[in-house]
Amino acid sequence: MKDKITKKKLSEKEIDEIVVSQADDDSAWEEAIETRRTKKSSLAISAELALRAAFLAKLHRENSMEKWLTRIIQERIELEEVAFREAKREMAGISR
């Protein structure tokens, strides 16, 4: 009869210690993988704002208000990021 090999379940602290000890050793790690969030996030907006968004989505010939809002939010975030980078660059120039 085969002897049963029991593996000790590592505590969270033990796992942390192993990870920290291997952190700078690239050979200890597998190749990096990219993952995507599969669950969508939700955003609560007022009924009035939803109606206005639905109207504008139709005006822009978008079948889905969600797709239109996603595009608009992405565009706005990109604009804000550019403005932030420019302001940061200007502040760095002033402080020199």
pLDDT per position as a tens digit, 29-39: 888 888 887 77
Query: CA triplet 35, 36, 41: central angle to 5 degrees?
Result: 145
pTM: 0.54
| pLDDT tens, position by position, 34-82 | 888 777 788 899 999 999 999 999 999 999 999 999 999 999 999 999 9
Identify whether the C-beta of residue 51 lies closer than 8 Å to the C-beta of residue 59: no
Burial (CB < 10 A; 0-12, 13-18, 19+), residue 96, is exposed
